[in-house]
């Protein structure tokens, strides 16, 4: 204990000597400096990074005395965030001495009721120890869409990105209502809730919350998304909430969030003309081809409704469609692609669907190392502009130090460079539209 007390006593003098307190440097920058000078990672593996983060946060949570000492010397700027109409503010202040051994300070994993003296539930410790963040959510066009085990969506993608930032996986559980999802977090059955719940409902559940768009309602509204899509936590003092606020409200992340919102734009079929045209094609044309879609989907291990969504995007389900560039048929195959896929008659619906299904299968194989749901978006982009073009974008993304297997990163690259390449604009619309049509088909038939 002597060495710990000594650290507390000399902490103020040491920080003042280095000019950190006098310069008004924030607690987050102080944390970063201490982290870089004291922590040496033993491995770059996902498990090792998660273990290090776990130990770091355990140390941070266990040295409240030092934080109090520093706060008495000078009022440091706490990090705060407004939450919804209620304007709830969570002041979050952390000091980390990562050189302090953390083994004796770790709160027992799986003990969801473990609290420190300030009443903060250490959910973060559980998440980092298990490598899984449990998410309670309710299906909606702004949170997540799931059918046949295929999960995606605006809120889902942002929550998954946050989990990846922590080097953990997510385990999403669906609930029938926002109230039930919030209750699951309050009772320790989930770590975070992804909902569009009202501020009143969240306050009633005694949870802390933050907007996934960091309060940028206009970003949500212009893309047809619910402006109150939020993440809710058991305590604003727990590091899971703190890390989320840092991640979501980071300026760079906000730019990425805008692009994710653009991909999940819900306005396409909210437009009366577009919706009526889509519904008319499904009612009048789809019955003639549905058995062909189902059969060819089975032949190539696809979702038949995905092929329908592609067919509508390509030709509005018109088997006799012909474009000015010479592509023909329900799936609008080029002459070269048709020959390669063994299609002798491009205007024959069954052959055209089969050719499209076979080509899509090949595109999926080209990106076999990309996990779902991103693999589907990569395959559709390749169907539209060719696999080599998509792989070139992947390489450019990787040169920027980002994950080239992330659709969000590839989509963001196309968005940033669309002024210099019109094919990017076409591809972005192509994949986004098919996603919209597929979700509508699933909603319509379930």
**DSSP conformation class of 328:** B
Helix, strand, or coil (residue 22): coil
CA distance 136 to 141: 16
CA distance 318 to 346: 12
226 in Cβ contact with 196 (< 8 Å): yes
**E runs forming strands in 6-98:** 82-83, 88-89
Q: Tell which residue, 50, 211, 226, 205, has the closest CA to residue 153.
A: 226
CA distances to 227, 327, 347 from 354, rounded to whole Å, are 41, 16, 12
**DSSP conformation class of 420:** G
- With b for 16 or more beta-carbon neighbours within 10 A and e for fewer, the 384-423 pattern comes to bbebeebeebbeebeeeebbbbbbbbbbbbbbeeeeeeee
Can you read off the two tokens belonging to residue 135? Answer: 């998410």
**DSSP conformation class of 238:** S
The pairing of strands 132-137 and 192-195 is parallel
CA distances to 250, 285, 353, 439 from 294, rounded to whole Å, are 45, 15, 10, 17
- Is 314 tagged catalytic? yes
Spatial CB neighbours of 335, under 8 Å, sequence gap ≥ 6: 326, 346
CA distance 29 to 46: 24
Using DSSP, how many helices (H) and how many strands (E) does the chain show? Answer: 20, 9
CA distance 433 to 438: 9
402 in Cβ contact with 434 (< 8 Å): no
Q: Tell which residue, 392, 388, 365, has the closest CA to residue 376.
A: 365
CA distance 318 to 26: 61
Catalytic position from the list 174, 222, 279, 314: 314
CA distance 287 to 284: 7
Q: Catalytic residues, which ones?
A: 314
């Amino acid at each position: 204990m002597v060495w710990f007390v000594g650290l507390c006593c000399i902490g103020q003098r040491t920080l003042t000597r280095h000019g950190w307190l006098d310069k008004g440097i924030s607690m987050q920058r102080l944390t970063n400096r201490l982290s870089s000078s004291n922590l040496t990672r033993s491995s770059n593996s996902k498990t090792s990074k998660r273990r290090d983060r776990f130990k770091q946060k355990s140390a941070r949570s266990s040295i409240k005395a030092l934080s109090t000492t520093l706060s008495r010397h000078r009022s440091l700027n706490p990090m705060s965030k407004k939450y919804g109409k209620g304007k709830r503010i969570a002041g979050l202040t952390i000091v980390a001495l990562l050189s302090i051994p953390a083994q004796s300070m770790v709160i027992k994993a799986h003990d969801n009721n473990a609290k420190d003296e300030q009443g903060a539930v250490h959910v973060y410790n559980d998440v980092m120890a298990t490598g899984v963040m449990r998410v309670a959510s309710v299906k909606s066009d702004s949170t997540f869409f799931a059918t046949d085990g295929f999960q995606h969506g605006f809120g889902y993608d942002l929550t998954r990105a946050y989990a990846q930032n922590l080097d953990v996986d997510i385990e999403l559980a669906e609930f029938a209502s926002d109230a039930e999802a919030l209750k699951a977090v309050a009772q320790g059955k989930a770590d975070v809730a992804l909902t569009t719940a009202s501020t009143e409902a969240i306050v009633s559940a005694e949870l802390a919350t933050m907007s996934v768009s960091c309060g940028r309602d206009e970003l949500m509204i212009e893309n047809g998304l619910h402006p109150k899509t939020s993440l809710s936590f058991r305590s604003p003092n727990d590091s899971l909430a703190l890390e989320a606020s840092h991640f979501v409200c980071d300026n760079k992340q906000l730019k990425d969030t805008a692009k994710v919102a653009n991909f999940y734009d819900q306005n396409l079929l909210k437009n009366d003309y577009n919706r009526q045209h889509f519904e008319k094609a499904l009612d009048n044309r789809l019955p003639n081809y549905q058995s062909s879609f189902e059969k060819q989907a089975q032949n190539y291990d696809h979702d038949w409704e995905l092929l329908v969504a592609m067919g509508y995007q390509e030709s509005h389900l018109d088997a006799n469609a012909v474009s000015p560039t010479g592509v023909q048929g329900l799936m609008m195959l080029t002459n070269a692609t048709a020959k390669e896929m063994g299609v002798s008659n491009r205007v024959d619906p069954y052959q055209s669907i089969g050719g499209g299904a076979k080509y899509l299968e090949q595109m999926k194989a080209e990106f076999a190392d990309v996990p779902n749901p991103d693999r589907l978006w990569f395959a559709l982009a390749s169907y539209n502009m060719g696999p080599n073009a998509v792989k070139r974008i992947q390489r450019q993304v990787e040169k920027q130090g980002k994950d080239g297997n992330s659709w969000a990163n590839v989509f963001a690259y196309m968005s940033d460079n669309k002024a210099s390449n019109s094919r990017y604009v076409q591809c972005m619309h192509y994949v986004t539209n098919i996603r919209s049509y597929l979700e509508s088909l699933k909603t319509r038939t379930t």
